[in-house]
Structure 1
Amino acid sequence: MASNGTGGLPPIDFEKVRNDSDGSVTGMAKGLFNQFIEGNPYFAAGGGLMVLGTSLALLRRGVISTSRLAYHQLIVDLEIPSKDKSYLWFLQWMSRYPHRSSRHLSVETNYLQHNNGSVSTEVNFVPGVGNHLIRYKGAFMLIKRERSGQIANITNGTPFETVKLTTLYRDRHLFQELLMEAKDLAVKRQTGKTVIYTSWANEWRPFGQPKAKRNLKSVILDNGLKESILNDVNDFLQNGKWYYDRGIPYRRGYLLYGPPGSGKTSFIQALAGELDYNSCIMNLADPNLTDDRLNYLMNNLPERSLMLLEDIDAAFVKRSKNDEGFVNGVTFSGLLNALDGVASSEEIITFMTTNHPEKLDPAVMRPGRIDYKTYVGNATEYQIKQMFLRFYPEEKELSEQFVQKAVELDTPISTAQLQGLFDFNKQNPKNAVLMVESLRYPNHVFCCK
């Protein structure tokens, strides 16, 4: 077969080209191009598909670019990281929001192990990881809670989380309103109440719902003792500059010691409410507690909080037995450093309680670690009378009879026993007087009227 010198392509009919063109150079070029395309078998076989694929790719890219442009122009996002304080505010707000579409929930359990071994728990449900749809003030919002599988909080090992809110750009002002509403809800829940914090890993978390502030007048200590402690705390809080000017660490430690049931912890909780402070309870017998964690927690207390170390004697052996006092991961020197070491916290008020002060090492008792110590004992005649009148304000004559009979028992009576007796006879002060004899037995349980 003779070759036409075009590599197998069909020959070009120049006469046809001239007839099809308009006689111009441009027209001739068009005619050549059309004849080449129409008669080219290679282009006919795959060129069409190539043009189609290219067109689809360009169309897809155009659609993506257009959608991105539309997204940026019409949609707005707000990201709230878990390290931000408003993160918990928002979750609490959304868990109570009535108009939401959600099938993903997450459980949040508050856990507190007391020194006597008992455990208190409280379970709450909050929006879980996934997508949630709400309608807020007429605007739809898509809420996406995401959890990182690779990034974690180095202080407690919990995964890093974010909440992303998406809505129309025109409704972006609702983000500010929503967050302010969540904040107001959180503040309202705490107004007139005391928040109890407990340690979880390397952070403080609220335990349960905020508790109603206990009236300081409801705690009856021996005559003048309550006022003395309150005045000392107020004097400390009002003289921060005095400490700083003299280079004295701005912290103060209190030790309340005495028999169980004498009202030590109740007074501290009531004092926190009186000062408008919260309470941070640390269990030194926690098996997961270490020196580093103890020091970190005591240096990162929530704002306006009292530190409470209950039954401090139960967490350590005497120094004479073991210089380091290794118990449950915390060392004796670790406690001392946390109380007043170089890295210890400033502007902190620490309350410690114990039923056995004789078990405490002298190193713990020195000033700078414990600056104010006082005995909170069993009920005195003054306390017995004041507690009776607290429950039965109009029964002054019966109060004298009750005090006389209680004194005649010639046995220690705790304020907890008195409260149990009065609680059992809420509306019957005469019966309370008749039941004074039961106070002779410390473990007596009032029941079965």
Structure 2
Amino acid sequence: MLSDLVATLSSNPYFGAGAGLIGIGTALAVLRRSSQYGLIFFRRQFMITLEVPNNDISYTWLLQWISHQLRDSSRHFSARTTLVKNDEPSSRIQASYTFVPSVGTHYFRYKGKFVKVERTREQMINSGVPFESVQLTAFGQDRQIYIDMLEKARDAALLANEGKTLVYVPTINEWHLFGRPRRKRPLNSVILNKGVLEGLIKDVEHFLSNPQWYIDRGIPYRRGYLLHGPPGSGKTSAIMALAGHFDLSISTLNLSQGTMTDDRLQQLLSNVPEESIILLEDIDAATVGRHYEKEDNIRYQGMKPLTLSGLLNALDGVISAEGRIIFMTTNFIERLDPALIRPGRVDHKEYIGPLTSNQVERMLTRFYPQSTHNEINQFLTQIEQLTDNYSKQLSAAQLQGFFMHNKDSIKDVFANVNQLLCL
């Protein structure tokens, strides 16, 4: 009975055609699914992939390095334009163009292997900042190939920034390089009172070279400094010179801005770039006088502003990171809460005051190396008389500005010395 039914159906041309189509479709579906699983199996067993998002510090390094590998093979790049000025006095500002791989797919060869590069970009709805990533794919299972690439990219970036100081600023909860790397400020360009800069150098050097000393004694491995004194005395300049001397970058935070909250500060201090000085300028403005205009109240509605408790916990609380150097500056140390500058949070306080006669002499000889002993004594006498007559103290910024106004000749300095306190 069953054999008769099968014979009848097989002899039916309509059923035979339908069964054939179903069979072909089934076979194609099985083949397609098998090829997909086969491709997945092949990628997992014989290929290795690395993804680097744009919030990783190596993202920019890797893009620059890849662009160098693609310089002869790829024809699709994105341009990054910056304005630069050479060191020559007569040079003009020029545009500098850097090319990085554009969004899409690229290929290059590295150590005998073909590497596929996929750069993607997605628009972020909330922040408006696009999220980007670079994905590298190569044959093999050894991840060392990517470690080598990242190391080479890092070395190339460090070589390009050699002799320069990097400055980072926060955007939302991440750090980004601010502008172009700056020339390192030489120590001899910062003229502080005798022994001040030397003491800071010695203290920072001991901290950086003796982490085990802190570990053995159970002391948190972090160091806090407070530079206080009148405006223009050289506090920030000293920090820039120290960063250059120890090959450190600077991560600067503005605690008085309306968008700074306890949570945001903790997040930023937990992911500060490595080998970086954290700079908190005008720390007295962090938790006092935080008055917002009417439109600011609307803009920051729902945001809890930074509190003193949040600042203290971020500096040396349970969640605070180790291996940090924090420099705080203020013009008004009397406004600071004692809890903020107690030992443990601030380990080294240094007063950077008005110019002394020793500083005036050193600044004069730096700007006018050919000045004679008599000219130096004459200028020191004039400065002393001037400050006594007006009952004012002189800052390094004022004297530097005065020298810059009269840089052509030391004779102009003596002729216009009465204008010094007007700057």
What TM bracket, shorter-length normalisation? Answer: 0.7 to 0.9
Residue from 105, 109, 118 that aligns with 1:144? 118
Provide the residue aligned with 1:348 in structure 2. 324
SS in 1 for 2:258: coil
Asked if residue 368 in structure 1 is aligned to residue 344 in structure 2, the reply is yes
Provide the residue aligned with 1:204 in structure 2. 175
Provide the residue aligned with 1:404 in structure 2. 381
Provide the residue aligned with 1:359 in structure 2. 335
Q: Which amino acid aligns with 1:189?
A: A
Residue from 240, 262, 276 that aligns with 2:247? 276
Provide the residue aligned with 1:420 in structure 2. 401
> Post-superposition shift, 1:272?
1.5
Q: Which amino acid aligns with 1:92?
A: Q
Provide the residue aligned with 1:133 in structure 2. 106
Provide the residue aligned with 1:429 in structure 2. 410
The structure whose RCO (Cα within 8 Å, separation 6+) is larger is: 2
Say if 1:256 and 1:351, in contact at 8 Å, map to a contact too: yes
Asked if residue 385 in structure 1 is aligned to residue 358 in structure 2, the reply is no
Deviations 1:243-291 (A, max 9, x none): 3333333333221111111110000110111122221211111222111
Asked if residue 232 in structure 1 is aligned to residue 203 in structure 2, the reply is yes
Which piece of structure 1 moves more, 230-239 or 275-284?
Answer: 230-239
Which piece of structure 1 moves more, 259-268 or 347-356?
Answer: 347-356
Mapped partners of 1:281, 1:79: distance in 2: 32
Provide the residue aligned with 2:308 in structure 1. 332
Mapped partners of 1:274, 1:107: distance in 2: 30
Aligned residue pairs total 388
Mapped partners of 1:399, 1:330: distance in 2: 49
Asked if residue 93 in structure 1 is aligned to residue 65 in structure 2, the reply is yes
Say if 2:67 and 2:100, in contact at 8 Å, map to a contact too: yes
Q: Which amino acid aligns with 2:221?
A: Y
Say if 2:123 and 2:129, in contact at 8 Å, map to a contact too: no
Q: Which amino acid aligns with 2:61?
A: W
Q: Identity of aligned pairs, percent?
A: 44
SS in 2 for 1:419: helix
> Post-superposition shift, 1:142?
4.1
Say if 2:234 and 2:352, in contact at 8 Å, map to a contact too: yes
> Post-superposition shift, 1:167?
6.0
Mapped partners of 1:178, 1:40: distance in 2: 66
Which piece of structure 1 moves more, 337-346 or 307-316?
Answer: 337-346
Asked if residue 267 in structure 1 is aligned to residue 243 in structure 2, the reply is no
Residue from 181, 189, 199 that aligns with 2:160? 189
> Post-superposition shift, 1:354?
0.8
Mapped partners of 1:245, 1:92: distance in 2: 42
> Post-superposition shift, 1:87?
2.9
Provide the residue aligned with 1:116 in structure 2. none
Deviations 1:302-326 (A, max 9, x none): 22222211001122228xxxxxxxx
> Post-superposition shift, 1:404?
2.7
Deviations 1:366-411 (A, max 9, x none): 2222222222122221111101111222223433333332222124
Mapped partners of 2:278, 2:178: distance in 1: 15
Provide the residue aligned with 2:421 in structure 1. 440
Q: 1:428 to 1:329 in 2, by over 3 A?
A: same
Q: Which amino acid aligns with 1:385?
A: E
Mapped partners of 1:333, 1:173: distance in 2: 45
Matches within 5 A, 1:39-188: 40-43=12-15, 46-47=18-19, 49-50=21-22, 53=25, 76=47, 78-82=49-53, 85-94=57-66, 98-99=71-72, 101=74, 105=78, 130-133=103-106, 135=108, 142-146=116-120, 162-166=133-137, 178-188=149-159
Say if 1:77 and 1:164, in contact at 8 Å, map to a contact too: no
Provide the residue aligned with 1:246 in structure 2. 217
* TM-score after normalising by structure 1: 0.71
Mapped partners of 1:162, 1:220: distance in 2: 45
Q: 1:44 to 1:368 in 2, by over 3 A?
A: closer
Residue from 247, 257, 260 that aligns with 1:289? 260
Q: Give the greater-gyration-radius structure (CA).
A: 1
Q: 1:271 to 1:47 in 2, by over 3 A?
A: closer
* Unmatched tracts of structure 1, length 5 or more: 11-35, 110-122, 319-326, 443-449
SS in 2 for 1:329: coil
